[in-house]
Structure 1
Amino acid sequence: MPKFLFKSLLLLFIFASANAQEVQTEIAPPYNIKAVSFIQNGSNVVPVFELGSDFKFQFDDLFANEANYYFEVIHCDYNWKPSDITKQDYIRGLDNQRIIDYSNSFNTLQGYSHYRLSFPNQFTTQLRISGNYMLRILNDDREVVFSRKFILYENHCTVAAQVKRSRNLSDIDYKHNIDFAIASNDITFQNPLKNVKVFLFQNGDFNTSIKNIVPQYTLGNQLVYKYNDETQFWAGNEYLYFENKDIRAANNFVAKVGYNSAIYSSYLYTSAARANLIYTLNQDVNGNFVVKNINGSDNDIEADYAWVYFSVSAPTFRLNKDIYVTGMFNNYNLIPEYKMDYNEEKGIYEKAVLIKQGFSNFQFMVADKNGKVDYENAIDGNFYQTENEYTILVYYKESNDRYERCIGKGNANSINIIN
């Protein structure tokens, strides 16, 4: 083999190996992709599923041109780097195939094509192993259009968790502390300080995650985590919501309905910053949303889109930071499409967002120019009474394993908070 050819192949191999180990991050969808969600038992869910269970992934394309989209599944380690295993190790069947289950909207002002991808499907008959996965949606040129994380877990351990108020008096009214213990009857943990890892997050938002926490102490085969600071979350406030299931009528939190463009507009009441107000119970669904058209029979293709006008009066937040409208409806993405603008004349922040009709939770999030969220100085404040859902995932990799398994899942809700 000529020397120059050998060097070229060597460089190509090194480059490919380096790329293969890059941390996988979610790519936000472009403007034309909306209503991205994971579905199980007919409802939008946080993408954490038991290994072997069925679930769906779906989204709308507002271009409505029946474009070709392909899917790719990548197994990742605890830190979201691609696992050092072959695709055949974690997929029975094939990926990188075209999504063939789609249909066009019916009787809507905003046209769109609705795509559905089931797991398992006729190409990917089984996801073999647990752990972290990145689902990438590709176009005809095999370029990544957007991507979403999901996690498969096994039931090999139990996670007993309890939400408590902070042990630090300065934070006792503003933070939640998660105490938990991990136990297993069929796994004897080897070197748990190194081989066992946990992943904690709040209300289905992976961006709130707490990682790399080692057991505080062990009791036989039980791992106990009772930290003061390491497992604390800012409690936040209850989510706001709006309902436009009947897109032509002013419903909950919708002040008026307009039709000054090609589609309907839902103008929401202006929200007041709640940080300096007392806590008020407001039932929510922890950031989730439901697509619903009360005048249709198939919400997937008969629910319409509306311009939803958000506004918040927060004059004290005119700092060197940005305000975003977020929720599960946009996967908590901090991108320009959801960044609010300050209206000098009205003295409020405003933003119009195109959202599929139904019921949606939302919140106003403060972040700096680099996208780092300021949970401490949240517009709506932090109250220990806030009802939040916490998820704890347990990862395990023995010395001779080639990948990290997710061996258990636990949940805790702050409605049962104790001192």
Structure 2
Amino acid sequence: MVKHLISLLFISCITHQVFAQKAQEIPPPEYIGTIQFSGQPNNAGIPIINLGDRLRISFDALNGNEADFYYRIDHYDFDWTPSNLSKNEYLQGFDEVRIETYENSLNTLQIFSHYFLTIPNRETRGITKSGNYLITFSDDDGNIVFSRKFIVKENLVSVGVEIKRARDLRRIKNDQVVQFTIDSPSEILINPKRNVKTLVLQNGNIKTAITDLVPQYTIGTELIYRYDKEAAFGGGNEFHNFDNKDIRAANNTIRRIELNDLYEHFLYTDIDRSDRPYTYNPDINGGFVVRNINAQNQAIEAEYTIVHFNLQYFEALEDKEIHIYGNFNNYTIDGTTYMRYNKATDSYQNARMFKQGFYNYKYVLVDRDGSIDEGAISGDFWETENNYSVVVYYRAPGERYDRVIGLGTGSSTNITNY
């Protein structure tokens, strides 16, 4: 009897640990390309949609199999652990059903099938709760292909966001500080230091988000956040870009074009900008836009090309690696982003497949433990134009999940001194 109880307790503990694991996005295999959420400006960062709005996600399968894909939607709390809600409490209808809508590529050298999922649809009639979500796609055999995070919000509080220069003189030339207030005139936020949580994003990149801020003080109905170092981001630099909307034409970013099995675009050589003065160059903050100037239907007529990157960087890497970085693959570091050293040219090179369009990218140093230094090659400058978002979560006493009750945005184009 005792052994039986011990076994049950052991199983219970293991089960609890499994279900308490934080949600991790699973990157797609190489045959899945160009994952996009509609309504997301320039595909820059984690999608944040209003409760009740339509959700649309699309992607390409480049293996030409016209395979079947299935999707599942799960709800999570602020820290990305599974919430206590059952499926029917946050979802009207069903998930774990097949994506029924896709089109095959037209007039392209690289064949692919373009899949697109819209919610609400016939099976999944809508999402009914705000919060963090993970949508997971699997194949016919139930194997997970990839997953992506998104956030559903309500508009119950107003969030004012200001961008400041750092107070620390050692970082005043490099950092941007996010200060904000949360105003809740119609809803009392009980015990805000415990029940209100915030997610602070630079250019929508959830992988570098600040998540541990609590209100410093209250004035009337406002919660005040006036941090310095704790809410600081490296300013970074404006992203590099390339534009291959005209697949046969070189331009100020593409040096040379070759046609083999696919079109290959060779970019001009980039250099280390960390020790150079800041220069303004408009970007879309790490995002991308799919486009082909000769196509009517961009989704299925935009071609896939092989883009060649070339970087001159003369600093010792030691145990670090250089990778290209941007929202073209959801800020994921993997084998397709690795820059290999070419002794003949004394430069670091990469060749990766992209769908035609306009893309932002930068070079980053990646340490052995996976930590990323975004400013090592590009530099960190307080003048850099960045977008910032503050997502506000609240769990009222007795609630069983973390609601997203507001969103505030700001830009460093309006950065000020203290």
TM-score (norm 1): 0.96
Q: Secondary structure at the match of 1:18?
A: helix
SS at match of 1:316: coil
Specify the code of the residue in structure 1 equivalent to 2:353.
Answer: L
Aligned residue number for residue 253 of structure 1: 253
State the Cα deviation string for residues 334-376 of structure 1 (Å, max 9, x = none). Answer: 111111111122111100010001111111111102211124x
Deviations 1:249-292 (A, max 9, x none): 11230001011x31000000000111111111101011111111
Contact 2:32 2:59 in 1 (8 A): yes
Cα distance change, pair 117–27 in 1 and its aligned pair in 2 (3 A): same
The residue number in structure 2 matching 1:315 is 314
How many Å separate the matches in 2 of 1:157 and 1:177? Answer: 22
Structure 2 residue matching 1:294: 3-state secondary structure: coil
- Deviations along 1:194-217, one digit per CA (max 9) or x if unpaired, are 000000011121111001211111
Aligned to 1:389: 387
Q: Name the residue aligned to 1:402.
A: 400
For 1:414 and 1:296, how far apart are their aligned partners in 2?
36
1:63 is matched with 63
The residue identity in structure 2 corresponding to 1:335 is: D
How far, CA to CA, are the matches of 1:170 and 1:13 in structure 2?
A: 51
CA deviation after TM superposition for structure 1 residue 16, in Å: 3.9
Q: Determine the structure 1 residue equivalent to 2:367.
A: 368
| Equivalence for 1:286 | 285
User: Contact 1:38–1:58 at 8 Å: present in 2 too?
Assistant: yes
Residue aligning to 1:122:
122
**1:309–1:350 Cα contact (<8 Å) kept:** yes
Residue 319 of structure 1, CA deviation = 3.0
Contact 2:238 2:282 in 1 (8 A): yes
Which residue in 1 is equivalent to 2:263? 264
**Equivalents in 2 of 1:252, 1:113: separation in Å?**
31
* CA distance 1:41–1:326, shift in 2 (3 Å): closer
Shift of 1:328: 1.1
> Given that residues 197 and 213 in structure 2 are in contact (C-alpha distance below 8 angstroms), is that contact kept between their aligned partners in structure 1?
yes
Matched pairs, number: 416
* TM-score, normalising length: structure 2: 0.96
- Tell me if structure 2 keeps the 8 A contact 1:236–1:378: no
SS of 2:372 mapped into structure 1: coil
- The one-letter amino acid paired with 1:152 is V
Q: Distance in 1 between matches of 2:291 and 2:245?
A: 5
- State the match for 2:144 in structure 1: 144
Matched residues in 2 for 1:409 and 1:416: separation? 18
Q: Residue deviations 1:275-317, cap 9 Å, x none?
A: 1111111010111111111111101000010000011111115
Q: Is the 8 A contact 1:91 1:128 kept in 2?
A: yes
- 2: distance between equivalents of 1:412 and 1:193? 23
Contact persistence 1:156–1:185 (CA under 8 A): no
Aligned Cα RMSD in Å?
1.8
- 3-state SS in 2 of match to 1:378: helix
1:111-190 matches, cutoff 5 A: 111-190=111-190
Listed as ranges, the gaps of 5+ residues in structure 1 are none
- Looking at structure 2, the residues matched to 8 and 214 of structure 1 have their Cα atoms a distance apart, in angstroms, of 41
Amino acid at match of 1:402: R
Asked whether the equivalents of residues 44 and 286 of structure 2 are also in contact (C-alpha less than 8 Å), the reply is no
2: CA distance between counterparts of 1:7 and 1:143? 33
Gaps of 5+ in 2: none
C-alpha distance after superposition, 1:110-168 (max 9, x if no partner): 00111101122221111000010011111112121111100011100011111010011
Q: Equivalent residue for 1:241?
A: 241
Which residue is 2:348 aligned to?
349
Residue 379 of structure 1 corresponds to 377
Cα 1:85–1:368, aligned 2, differ >3 Å: closer, same or farther? same
Say whether the 8 Å CA contact 1:132–1:150 is kept in structure 2. yes
- Asked if the contact 2:44–2:203 (Cα under 8 Å) also holds between the matched residues in 1, the reply is no
Measured after TM superposition, the shift of residue 5 of structure 1 is 9.5
Q: CA deviation at 1:8?
A: 7.8
